[in-house]
């Protein structure tokens, strides 16, 4: 989905309805900054806000996700394209998660193997130190790659306000987590809590 195109369309529809960003935000119980973020293509409306937004702008969800008015004869085709885009995004997120797990496992196995060899083999001290240093570098590099892949796989959704966001690497690494949730600070409401992983933006 083209976020910039969708943003321009939201802006156009809002202006046609004679609403300011602040007025639209008040009707949807959100800030004008959130509306501005949508209109500048820096984010998409949360799923929970799509229907209310469409109702206020006099459009349907398919038109919102396409970023343009859709003639009746093209409606079905555009709906199918939007569904395929969402499915592709989910598949890409799953692929990134799988890659991050594989990289992490291989990295840890390689690092541990080097450390075991350094401890058990008859080597000079400098050789042991070198092997351990290589093991640390391999593990640190592999984990960094795994983290970057995992962060870019989808978004996290705040349980308080429903905002979806991509966390910083620091907050991601230090956030306690389960398989599907991670303790993060929401950039919108500022609440620090378990946020749910979503496979789409």
Condensed to tens digits (0 to 9), the pLDDT of residues 78-105 reads 777 878 888 888 888 888 889 999 999 9
pLDDT at 170: 87
pLDDT at 106: 94
170 and 144 both lie in a single domain: no
For the chain, what is the domain count? 3
CA gap 61, 70 in Å, rounded: 11
**H helices present in 17-74, as ranges:** 21-28, 32-39, 47-57, 61-66
Task: Residue 12: give its domain's CATH number.
Answer: 1.10.260.40
The sheet that has 192-198: what strands, in order across it? 164-165, 155-157, 192-198, 181-185
pLDDT tens figures, 22-59? 999 999 999 999 999 999 988 888 888 889 999 999 99
Q: Does 83 reside within a domain?
A: no
- pLDDT level of residue 126 (50, 70, 90 thresholds): very high
Q: What is the DSSP letter of 43?
A: -
128 and 184 both lie in a single domain: no
Distance of CA 118 to the CA centre of its chain: 40
Q: What range does the domain containing 174 cover?
A: 155-198
CB 14 within 8 A of CB 23: no
pLDDT at 160: 83
pLDDT at 80: 79
Q: Does 142 reside within a domain?
A: yes
pLDDT tens figures, 140-198? 999 899 888 888 888 898 888 878 888 888 888 888 888 789 999 988 888 999 999 98
Closest CA to 201 of 64, 30, 44, 65: 44
User: Interhelix angle for 75-120 vs 125-151, to 10°?
Assistant: 170
């Amino acid at each position: 989905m083209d976020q910039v195109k969708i943003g321009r369309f939201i802006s156009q529809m809002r202006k046609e309805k004679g609403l300011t960003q602040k007025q639209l935000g008040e009707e949807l119980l959100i800030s004008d900054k959130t509306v501005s973020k949508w209109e500048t293509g820096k984010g998409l409306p949360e799923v929970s806000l799509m229907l209310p937004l469409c109702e206020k702008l006099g459009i349907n969800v398919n038109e919102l996700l396409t970023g343009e008015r859709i003639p009746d004869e093209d409606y079905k085709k555009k709906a199918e394209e939007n569904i395929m885009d969402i499915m592709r995004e989910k598949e890409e997120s799953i692929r990134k998660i799988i890659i991050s797990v594989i990289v992490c496992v291989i990295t840890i196995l390689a690092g541990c193997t080097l450390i075991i060899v350094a401890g058990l083999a008859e080597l000079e001290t400098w050789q042991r130190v070198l092997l351990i240093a290589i093991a640390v570098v391999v593990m640190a590099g592999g984990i960094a790659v795994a983290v970057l892949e995992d962060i870019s796989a989808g978004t996290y959704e705040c349980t308080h306000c429903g905002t979806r966001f991509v966390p910083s690497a620091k907050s991601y690494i230090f956030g306690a987590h389960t398989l599907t949730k991670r303790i993060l600070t929401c950039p919108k409401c500022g609440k620090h809590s378990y946020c749910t992983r979503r496979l789409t933006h």
